[in-house]
A and B are shown apart, each in its own frame.
Chain A
Amino acid sequence: MTDPLPWLVVLPLAWASVAFLLGPGRGAVLAAFGVALQCALAFELAARVQAAGALRYAVGGWGSPLGIDWYVDGLAVLMLGLTQVVALPLLLYARSYFGHAGAAGRYFWPLAGFLIGGMNALFVSADLFNLYVTLEIVGLAAVGLVAAGGGAAQLAAALRYLFATLLGSGAFLLGVALIYGACGTVSIELLGPLLAGEAPRAVYVAVVLMSVGLFLKTALFPFHYWLPPAHGGAAVPVSALLSALVIKASFYLLLRLWLDIFAPLVQPLAWLPAVLGSAAILWGSWQAVRAEHLKLLVAWSTVAQIGYLFLAFPLLATQAAALDAVVFQTVSHALAKAAMFAATGVVIHVTGNDTVAGVAGVAQRLPLTLFAFALAGVTLMGLPPSGGFLAKWLLIDAALAEGAWPLVLVVLLGGLLAAWYVFRVLRQAFLLAPPTEVAVRAPRLMEWSALLLAAASVALGVRGIELARLIAPVGAS
C-alpha cells in the first residue's frame, strides 16, 4: 500500500475543489466518501507510527533546509486521527442539516475540505514557516465557514473572528521572521540545538509573539472574546467543527513548540498558561451557567474547557501524566463538544427555540438527542466513565504529585460548575411541557451522529489505553 500521509493532505483539498464544482448535493456525498477514506488512511498511518516510531518525510525529495519537511510522531498522528474521526459524523450531520440546497450549504463543503486539509498539513509540518501557512489556511477557511451563514450577526461575528485570527497569525509570522533572522533557519529539527544554549534576545521576543498569537487563536482567556459570538452564531455543523477541532489545531502547535524547541526558554513562564487557564475555566463556566441561549452556553463551555488544556503546562516538564491528561482532554472534549453542538442543533431544529427555557419537554420529544447531550455533558463534567474523567484524574494526580493544590481546586471547581450548566439544561428538559401543535420530526441521521460522537467520548473512558500508548515514548510499555 502506498504511503497514507500525502493523501491525508491532498485528498481533502481535492474533494473540496470538486465539491465546489459539483454543488452541494453531490458535493456532500463526495465529501463524506473523502473523509471516510481519510479515516482509514489515518488509522493506517497510526499503525505505522506505532510499529516504527516517528516518521520523517522530505516532500519532493529536497529535505531541509531547502525543501518542505513533514514529521509524524504519536501526537501528530493522534491529532490526524481525531480530526478525521470527528469530521466524518459531523459531515454526515451537515448533509442532513443543510438539506440539498441553500447558500450556506453551497459554501460549506468546499470550505470544510480546505479546513480539514489545512489542519492535516498543520499537524505534520516540521518547519515554522510552513506552520504559519497552514495556520493561515485553517483560519481563513474557518472565517469563511462562519460567514457562510449569511446573517448580519454571523457576518459581524465572522469579521471579529477574522480580525482575531489575522492578528494571531500576524504575530506568529513576526515571530517566525525574528527567529529566521536570529538563527538562519525555520526548521524545527535544526532550531532545537540552536535554541537550547544561549538564545539571542530577538528569540525571546519571538517566543512571546508566537505564543500570544497562538493564545489568541486558541481563545485562551482573556483572548477568548471572539469565540462565543463566532461559535454561538455560526451554523451548527460549523460551530461543532470549530469548537471541536479548529481551536485544537492552534493549541497543538503551541503544545508542540513549548514541549520541543521553546522548552528551554519558557520554563520560568510555565505558570502563565495555567493561571490564564484557571481564569478561563472559572469565567467560561460562569458565563455558561448564566447564558440564556443554548448555543451560547455550549460556546462558553468551550472557553472553559480550553482552560483545562493549559492547566497542565507547569506540570509537563516533570510529570508524564500531564501530557496524557492534555491528550485525553483534547480528544474527549473534541468528541463531546461536537456531540453537544450536534444535539443542540437537533433540539433547535425541532423546537424552533434556541433558549435554555425552550428545552422544556425535550425529554419526552427527543429522548435520543437528550441522551446524547447528557452523555457529552458527563464528559465535560469529568464524571466517570468518560474520557473527560480520565483527563481530570490524570491532571489531579499530576498536580498532587507536584503539590500544586491551586490547580487541583480549579479542576474540581470547574467540574462542579460544568455540572451546574449541564444540569441546567437537563433539568429544564425533564420539565413537563404543554403539548405542541406542530410536530417537526427530528432527522434520524442528525440524532444518531450526535449520539455516536457522545458515546465515543464516554467509551474513551473505558478504552483509552491505545491513546496513552500512542504518545508514550518509544520503548516504554
Chain B
Amino acid sequence: MTPNEALPLAVLASSLLPGLLIFALPEERVGLRTTLNLLGAVAKVVLIAALLAGVAAGEEYGFRYRVLPGLDLVFRADALALLFVSLSALLWFFTTLYAIGYLESGPHRSRFFGFFSLCVTSTMGIAMAGNLFTFFVFYELLTLSTFPLVAHRGTPQAMRGATVYLAYTLLGGTVLLTGIVWLHSLAGHTDFAQGGFLGVLAAHHDATLRIIFVLLIAGVGVKAALVPLHGWLPQAMVAPAPVSALLHAVAVVKAGAFGVVRIVYEVYGVEFAQALGLLLPLAVIAAITIVWGSLRALFQDDLKKRLAFSTVSQVAYIVLGVALFGPVGTIGGLVHLVHQGIMKITLFFCAGNYAETLGIHKVSQMDGAGRRMPLTSLAFTVAALGMMGAPFTAGAVSKAWLADGARTAGMDWAVWVLSVSSLLNAAYFLPIAWRSWMRPGPRVWPQEHIAARGWRETPWLLLLPPLVTALATLLFGVFAHAAWSPLSWAQLIAQREYVP
C-alpha cells in the first residue's frame, strides 16, 4: 500500500478507531474518553491538512478494495471530497469540544461518543466515496449511527423524533438503492468520473436515465431535506444540541446535498444532465424548498424548530447552485456547502447555550438574553446576519455568487427567489436579535442552570466553539479571495469539473 492509498484510509481510521475504543470504555473514564476523542479529532485535522496540500499540488489519493467481482469499495480524496472532508473534520473538532462540555454530567457518554465518532466516520466515507456503491454503504451507515444519537435521551418524545427520522431516511435509502443498482446494471460500474460516466449510454437509455435520476435525487433529497421530503428535520430537533449540530451542519443534511453534487457532476455530468433536461426541474424544486423553508421558519416559536426550517431553506441553496448550469453557479453552491455549515453550527451551538444556561427554548423567551449572555448572543447575531447575506459575512459571498450564477445561466427568476429568501431570513432572524439585545430581560429566567460569573456567562467549552465559528463566518466573508478560503477551493473544483 502506497502512502497515497493509505492516507484516505487513515482519515477514516482516525475517527473509527477512537469510536470503537470509546464503546468499550466504562462510563467513569472521563479523562481517557476525552483524550481519545480529541486525539482522533486532532489527528484527522492534521491528516486532512496533508491531503489538502497534496491535492492542491495535483497529487491523487485513492484506494480500491474488491468486495465482489464487479463491486468495489473505492475511496478517492479529490478536491470536491476534500471540501466536505475538511468542513466536517473542523466542525467535528469543535462539536466534540462542545459535546464534552454539554454532556459532562449526562448518562451514557461512552455510547454517545462512540456513535458520534461512527457518525463522523460515515461522513468521511460519504465524502471520499469514489463510486455510488461506496457512497451508499456509508450513507446508510450514517443513518444507522445517527439513530442512537437522536434517540439518546430515551424519552418518548426523543423516540418519536428518532422514529420519524428513521422512517424517512430508510425509505430514502431504499429509493436510492434502487437507482444505484439500476445504474450499475446498465453501466456495469458506478465509479465517479469528472464530467460524468453516463454520456456513453445516451440515446438508448434516455428515458431510463431520467427515471434513475429522479430515484437518485429523491434518495439523497431525503437527507438534504428537499421539500416535500423534509418532514424529519424539524422532528429530529428533540436531539441534544451537539447532535443537532451534527445533523444540520457536519453530517446528515450535508451528506444529502453532497450526494446531489456528485450525482449531477460526476455521475451524469452537468452537460449531459442539462441535455436530458434534468437541471431545470431540480432548480425549481430547490427554489420551492428555499421559499417554503423560510416561510415555515417565520411561524415557529420554538427556537430550534425555527433553525431547523431555516436549514431546510439554506441547504436548498446548495442544490440550486448545482442546478444552475455554469461554473459560477457551481462555485456559489459549493462554497455555500461550507458557509452554511459554519453559520448553522454557530446558531445551534448558541441555541444549546441558551437552553443549557437559562432554559430558553422559545423565541418569545429571548427577551434580554443578549445582556445576560453577550458573547453567545454576539455569535448568534453574526451567524444570523450571515444567513441573511449581510455584507462582510460568508453568507454574502454565497449569495453573490449564486445570484451571478443565476444571471449567467439566464435564470433570472432564481435571483428573485434569492432576494425573497433574504427578506424572509431577515424577517425570522432579526426579531430574535432585536429581542435579545433591545428588550429588557425577565426577572427570572425559565430555568437558570448556570449562574453568571463575571464575563463567563457559561462554561468555556460551550462558549469557545460558537465564538470560533462566528469568527470564521466573518473571516470567510472578508477574506473571500484569500488562497485558503473556501471560495478559492470551490473555484479550483469548478475549474477541474468544467475544464477536464
Query: A-side interface residues toward B, CB under 8 Å?
Result: 324, 363-364, 367, 371, 378, 383-385, 389-390, 392-394, 396-397, 400-401, 408, 412, 415-416, 419, 423, 426-427, 430-432, 461-462, 464-465, 468, 477
Q: Which residues of A contact B141 (CB under 8 A)?
A: 384-385
Q: What are the 4 A-B residue pairs with the smallest beta carbon separation, nearest first?
A: A384-B137, A432-B154, A400-B185, A396-B181
Question: Do the beta carbons of A427 and B159 come within 8 Å of each other?
Answer: yes
Question: Do the beta carbons of A324 and B68 come within 8 Å of each other?
Answer: yes
Q: Which of A378, A401, A416 contacts B174 (CB 8 A)?
A: A416
Closest to B175 in A: A412
* Residues of chain B in range 169-200 having any CB-CB distance to chain A below 8 Å: 170-171, 173-174, 177-178, 181-182, 184-185
Q: Which of A383, A401, A430, A468 contacts B154 (CB 8 A)?
A: A430
* Residues of chain B in range 103-136 having any CB-CB distance to chain A below 8 Å: 107-108, 111, 136
Besides the known contacts A383-B143, A416-B171, 17 further A-B residue pairs in the complex with CB atoms under 8 A apart: A324-B68, A363-B154, A384-B137, A384-B140, A397-B185, A400-B181, A400-B185, A408-B178, A419-B170, A423-B166, A427-B162, A427-B163, A430-B154, A430-B162, A432-B155, A465-B69, A468-B68
Give CA–CA (A385, B68) in the complex, Å.
13
Give CA–CA (A462, B166) in the complex, Å.
24
Main secondary structure of the interface of B (DSSP, over half): helix
Give CA–CA (A204, B482) in the complex, Å.
80
Q: Which of B67, B137, B174 contacts A412 (CB 8 A)?
A: B174
Give CA–CA (A397, B148) in the complex, Å.
31
Give CA–CA (A461, B185) in the complex, Å.
20
Question: Do the beta carbons of B67 and A465 come within 8 Å of each other?
Answer: yes
Question: Do the beta carbons of B184 and A431 come within 8 Å of each other?
Answer: no
25 A-B interface contacts by CB (under 8 A): A363-B111, A363-B154, A364-B108, A367-B111, A384-B141, A385-B141, A389-B137, A390-B71, A393-B177, A397-B185, A412-B177, A415-B174, A416-B170, A416-B174, A419-B166, A419-B170, A423-B163, A427-B151, A427-B162, A427-B163, A430-B162, A431-B156, A432-B154, A462-B67, A464-B68
Binary interface profile of B, 140-154, with partner A (CB < 8 Å = 1, else 0)? 110110011001001
Question: Do the beta carbons of B184 and A397 come within 8 Å of each other?
Answer: yes
Question: Do the beta carbons of A390 and B166 come within 8 Å of each other?
Answer: no
Q: Which residues of A contact B69 (CB under 8 A)?
A: 465, 468, 477
Question: Do the beta carbons of B71 and A393 come within 8 Å of each other?
Answer: yes
B66 touches A (CB below 8 Å): yes
Question: Do the beta carbons of A464 and B140 come within 8 Å of each other?
Answer: no
* Residues of chain B in range 48-94 having any CB-CB distance to chain A below 8 Å: 66-69, 71, 73
Question: Do the beta carbons of A393 and B181 come within 8 Å of each other?
Answer: yes
Knowing A367-B111, A383-B140 touch, does A390 contact B174 (C-beta < 8 A)?
no
Q: Which of B67, B156, B171, B173 contacts A464 (CB 8 A)?
A: B67
Q: Which residues of B contact A392 (CB under 8 A)?
A: 177
Give CA–CA (A394, B137) in the complex, Å.
14
Question: Do the beta carbons of B67 and A390 come within 8 Å of each other?
Answer: yes
Question: Do the beta carbons of B178 and A396 come within 8 Å of each other?
Answer: yes
Q: Which residues of B contact A419 (CB under 8 A)?
A: 166, 170
Give CA–CA (A390, B107) in the complex, Å.
36
Closest to A433 in B: B154
Question: Do the beta carbons of A401 and B185 come within 8 Å of each other?
Answer: yes
Closest to A427 in B: B159
Question: Do the beta carbons of B154 and A396 come within 8 Å of each other?
Answer: no
Give CA–CA (A202, B182) in the complex, Å.
43
Give CA–CA (A419, B140) in the complex, Å.
12
- B309 → A minimal CB distance (Å): 26
Knowing A462-B67, A468-B68 touch, does A397 contact B181 (C-beta < 8 A)?
yes
Q: Which residues of A contact B182 (CB under 8 A)?
A: 400
- B204 → A minimal CB distance (Å): 15
Give CA–CA (A77, B330) in the complex, Å.
54
Question: Do the beta carbons of A396 and B163 come within 8 Å of each other?
Answer: no
Closest to A371 in B: B23
Give CA–CA (A222, B67) in the complex, Å.
36
